[in-house]
């Protein structure tokens, strides 16, 4: 059983399109995250939800909108895609908001905007 699963794994789309990435975790964790990893492997937090409530919203264009229908799911919708949005997006989860508990990551969604 995959602990944190993301779909799709690859996404190739044209500029201006709208796309969504889905994430689900079966670990019973109450906190979920979206990360963006650029070509230099820099891994930066975008959003964090705790018990469906948004607790971190980093400096991300408002074209990016996360949605958490329940504790086990965190989706990311991106409007009007731009070339600079090309990256690998990772979903992660943890029990609680303490770094002490560690984070479990999904395998990533490689988004390519052409």
Partner 1 sequence: LAKTTQPISMDSYEGQEVNITCSHNNIATNDYITWYQQFPSQGPRFIIQGYKTKVTNEVASLFIPADRKSSTLSLPRVSLSDTAVYYCLVGGDSGSARQLTFGSGTQLTVLP
- The site for partner 1 (CB under 8 A) is made up of 4, 31, 33, 35, 40-45, 48, 55-56, 58, 90, 92, 94, 97-100, 102-108
42 vs 70, beta carbon nearer partner 1:
42
Q: Characterize 62-93 residue by residue with b for buried, 16 or more Cβ atoms within 10 angstroms of its Cβ, and e for exposed.
A: eebebebeebbbbbbebeebeeebbbbbbbbb
DSSP lists the bridge partners of residue 13 as 113
Helix (H/G/I), strand (E/B), else coil: 96: coil
* Residue that the structure tokens 């770094």 belong to: 99
86 vs 97, beta carbon nearer partner 1:
97
15 vs 54, beta carbon nearer partner 1:
54
Q: Shortest distance, CB of residue 106 to partner 1, whole angstroms?
A: 5
Q: Shortest distance, CB of residue 101 to partner 1, whole angstroms?
A: 9
Q: Shortest distance, CB of residue 97 to partner 1, whole angstroms?
A: 5
45 vs 72, beta carbon nearer partner 1:
45
Distance (Å, whole) CA 75 – CA 41: 22
Q: Shortest distance, CB of residue 16 to partner 1, whole angstroms?
A: 28
* Residue that the structure tokens 């990893």 belong to: 37
């Amino acid at each position: 059983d995959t602990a944190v699963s993301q779909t799709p794994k690859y996404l190739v789309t044209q500029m201006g399109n709208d796309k969504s990435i889905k994430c689900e975790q079966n670990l019973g964790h109450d906190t979920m995250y979206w990360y963006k990893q650029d070509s230099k492997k820099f891994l930066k937090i975008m959003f964090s939800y705790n018990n469906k409530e948004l607790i971190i919203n980093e400096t991300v264009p408002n074209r990016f909108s996360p949605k958490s229908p329940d504790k086990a799911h965190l989706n990311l919708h991106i409007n009007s895609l731009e070339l600079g949005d090309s990256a690998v997006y990772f979903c992660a989860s943890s029990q609680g908001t303490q770094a002490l508990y560690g984070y479990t990551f999904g395998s990533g969604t490689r988004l390519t905007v052409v």
